[in-house]
Every structure is written in structure tokens, then in C-alpha cells.
Amino acid sequence: MKKTVLFLAAILVIFLVSCGGSGSKNIKLGMLYNMTGSQASLDGPSSNGAKLAAKEINAAGGVLGKQLELVSYDGKSDAETIGKAAAQLVEKDKVVAMFGFSDSDMVMAAAPIAAKAKIVFITSGATSPKLPSQVPDYLFLSCFGDNVQAAAAAEYSWNTLNAKSAYLLIDKGMEYTLLLGKYFQERFTELGGSVVLEDTYQTGDKDFSAQITKLKALKPAPDMLFISSGPDDIGTIVKQVRDAGITSPIFGGDGYDTPLLMEIAGKGANNVYYTTHSLMDKNAGSPEVQKFIAAYEAEYNTAPENAFAGLGYDTVYLLADAIKRANSADPKKIREALQTTKDLPGVTGSITFEPGSPIPQKGVAIIEIQDDALKLAAEVVPEKVPAP
């Protein structure tokens, strides 16, 4: 028994020692991504992109004559761990700004803690336009909101694909897919289109024959299918829809931006369209994208896994730009400078914050899959965006 007590005491001592702070002259930015757990496939590339950006900035002389230091913790896709990590960033590491995450739950576990310490939190990949209102003044998006990408999808479908009627399939298991589907429906019907059937499924479902049977029974067949799905399910859905003989265009959001889509659906992926942050293609992408891909490959020996790598990369440049224009690493001045960001070029489009809006004005890339290849179909800035 005595040994047990001594053992516990020893652990406590190690723990308290490990909590000791450290000081440095660098400008410290807190980086929170889920390197393990369910979010790792999105957050891992984001983290790599962010580190690459910091390395480039430091190699070019840093910001205000100081080096940028990314202090990172693994969120482990767990709200409790994220809360603790955010507290450490505020208290022990004394960061001047925080960024990270691609999921609303995760952002909401960290951002209020940053706000309490009067530090901004920029989410690089959580696209819910409802987020900033939950943490007023201190939560910014560096990606577009779901209302923007859904409006872009609706306008492109109406204007370019000449779709008048749509079938809507929504994953009920995610905030992202629910909002995306709702915003698409709102904008599409506003333009004059009609949603002939709305159906749902749950994240992780493997068999879609019930939904497909109902879809096939529709007379006349809808001009297009809008399938609001996350990255893990979309390949399976597209494959089963195509196997059932349905060849209409399939449209979706940035959840489609995963190699899994073409790997699983194969030829079926042709005639699929989706909105995303940018076309991550070595040859067809914009000059910024090509430069980014080359740098990413040199650093990690692999092409960027998805657009989230670019989002992480742009977020660090966004913060560096704000610190430069604020001419100070004071959190309050950084926030003010961030709000006045204008036409900052980036891999995922140029970023401008309108006064009072924490969601950037950004173009939406529409990707088209034809002949087994990704192609940039259009860059769209929607004419009208549904309210968050």
C-alpha cells in the first residue's frame, strides 16, 4: 500500500514539473488540430500546410523581425482534451492568436476559451456560417461558409447545367451536411428550381438501395442530384447510384474533396460536380496552387492530400499578414488588423473581410469530374447568399 502511495506521489511530482512554463522571444501562435481520432484525415493535412507556411515565412525573415513559432497540441478529436489544450495555450504558452480545426464541435470546444482570454481563434476548415455568432468578436473563418458554397452550387446548377428540378439526399448525422443541404434548397428554389424529393441517411450507412428505389420511381426523373455527404460516404453513394443506372449530374460540397471519391466510385465518378476551396492540381491549378503543391511535395514527399492542407497554409499567412499590418503582436491589435484584411492572395482564393463580418468573401471553385479527371469548371462568387 505504501508503495502505491509513493508511486502516485511520484506521478504527481512529474506532472507538476511538466507543467512548468517556458519563455521565448518568438511570436507564438497556438495551433490546434486533431492529429488522431475521427478528424485526423482533415486536420493532419491542415497542420502540415500550416507548418509549411510558418517555415516559409521564417525563412523569409519572419514577421516584424521575429520568428513565428507554432505551438501545437493534439486535440484527439475529443472536446475535453481540446478544452485543456486551449487552456494551456492561453496560460502556459501565452500565444497571441489561435487557429485550427475543421469541425464545429471541435471549434466550439476551443474558441470560447480563446475569447475569454481576448485572443482570436481562426478556424481553417469548419465552414458553418453559424459559428461566429456563437463566439462574437473573437471567432473568424478563413474558409468560406456553407451558405456561400451551397449558393454557388445552386447558381451553377441553374445557370450552367440548366437544372430545373433536383433530388436532395442529406446525411442527417452531421451539422455540415444538414446545413449545406438546407442552404442549397433555399437558393435553388429561390432561383425558380424545385426540389422534387428530399431524402436522408446516416453517416456510415453502407446500403442506399431504399433511397435509390425511391429516386428511380420519380417521374419525370430530376435533372440533377444534390447529395450532401461527408468524405467517408460519398464514394459508396456515387457508386451505388451509378450502378442503378442513374447518369444525371451529381452535385455536392467540399466533403467530396477526397481521393476516396474516385477510388471507390471509379468510372461512376464522371459527371460529378462539387464546390471546394481550390483545385489542388499540379497542372491545372492556379499559379499559387502550383507553387504550394511543389513546396508541399518537397517538404512531405507527398502531394497535398486535400484542400484542407491549403486552408491551414493560408490561415498562417492570414495571421502573419494581420500581425505585420498591426505592426504589433498584441492580441487586440491583431484582431483589429485581421478584420481589415483585404485581397490577401492565397492558395484557396483571396481573402477579404467586410467590416463586421468574420466570414471572408472568397470565391468558390467548382470542380467537374469528366473522363476520370478533375477539372476546374468555374470560379464562382455567388450573386446572393442565404442568411446563416
Partner 1 sequence: MRRDRSTAIVSLAAIGITFLVLWLLHSFGGYYIERIVIGIGINLILVISLNLANGFTGLFSLGHIGFMAIGAYASAILTLPLSLKSTNLPDLPVFLSKIQMPFLPAVLVGGLIAMVVALLIGLSLMRLTGPYISVATMGFLVIVQVVLTNWDSMTRGARTFAGVPEYTNVWNVWIWAILVLYIVWRIKFSSFGRKMMAARDNEIAARSLGINVMASRLLAFCISAFFTGVAGALWAHFITAFSPKSFYFSQTFSVVTMLVVGGLGSLSGSVVGVMLITILSEILRNAERGFSIGPLVIPEVYGASQVIMAVLFVLFIVFRPRGLFGDAELDVRRFFKKEKEVSG
Amino acid at 225: L
Among 41, 56, 87, 376, binds partner 1 (CB under 8 A): 87
62 is a site residue for partner 1 (CB under 8 A): no
Sequence length of the chain is: 388
Which is nearer to partner 1, 184 or 273 (by Cβ)?
A: 184
36 binds partner 1 (CB under 8 A): yes
Q: 172 CB contacts (<8 Å, ≥6 apart)?
A: 178, 200, 201, 202
Query: Among candidates 325, 240, 259, 380, which has minimal Cα distance to 64?
Result: 325
Q: Does 241 bind partner 1 (CB under 8 A)?
A: no
DSSP state of 328: S
Q: Is 174 in the site for partner 1 (CB under 8 A)?
A: yes
Q: How far is the CB of 17 from partner 1 (least distance, A)?
A: 10
**Residue 283 within binding range of partner 1, rule CB under 8 A:** no
Site for partner 1 in 111-170 (CB under 8 A): 112-113, 128, 134
Whichever of 2 and 219 has its CB closer to partner 1, that residue is 2
Residue 13, interface with partner 1 (CB under 8 A)? no
Asked if residue 117 lies in contact with residue 351, where contact means CB atoms within 8 angstroms, the answer is: no
Q: Is the CB of 21 or the CB of 356 nearer to partner 1?
A: 21
Given the complex with partner 1, which of 234 and 367 has the nearer CB atom? 234
Which position among 12, 210, 218, 294 is part of the footprint of partner 1 (CB under 8 A)?
12
Q: Specify the stretch interacting with partner 1 by CB under 8 A; choose among 82-90, 191-199, 321-329, 376-384.
A: 82-90
Residue from the set 62, 64, 164, 173 that interacts with partner 1 by CB under 8 A: 173
Answer whether 136's CB lies under 8 Å from 120's CB.
no
- 26 contacts partner 1 (rule: CB under 8 A): no
- The yes or no reply on residue 15 touching partner 1 (CB under 8 A) is yes
Nearer to partner 1, 30 or 363 (CB): 30
| Strand bridging mode 373-380 / 364-370 | antiparallel
Alpha helices in the chain (DSSP H): 2-18, 40-59, 79-91, 104-116, 131-134, 146-159, 175-191, 209-216, 234-243, 260-265, 287-300, 307-326, 331-339
Q: Could you tell me which stretch among 100-108, 248-256, 287-295, 299-307 binds partner 1 (CB under 8 A)? A: 100-108
CB 128 within 8 A of CB 146: yes
Least separation in angstroms between residue 115's CB and partner 1 is 12
The kind and range of the H/E element at 367 are strand 364-370
Shortest CB 158 distance to partner 1, Å = 27
The sheet that has 97-100: what strands, in order across it?
68-74, 27-33, 97-100, 121-123, 139-141
Q: Is 55 a binder of partner 1 (CB under 8 A)? A: no
Q: For the beta carbon of residue 265, count every other beta carbon within 10 angstroms.
A: 23
- CA separation, residue 154 to residues 74, 194, 339, 367 (Å): 37, 11, 29, 14
Closest among 268, 215, 258 to 238, alpha carbons compared = 268
Size of the site for partner 1 (CB under 8 A): 44
Which positions touch partner 1 (CB under 8 A)?
A: 1-2, 4-5, 8, 11-12, 14-15, 18-19, 35-36, 72-74, 76, 78-81, 83-84, 87-88, 90-92, 104-105, 108-109, 112-113, 128, 134, 172-175, 178-179, 202-203
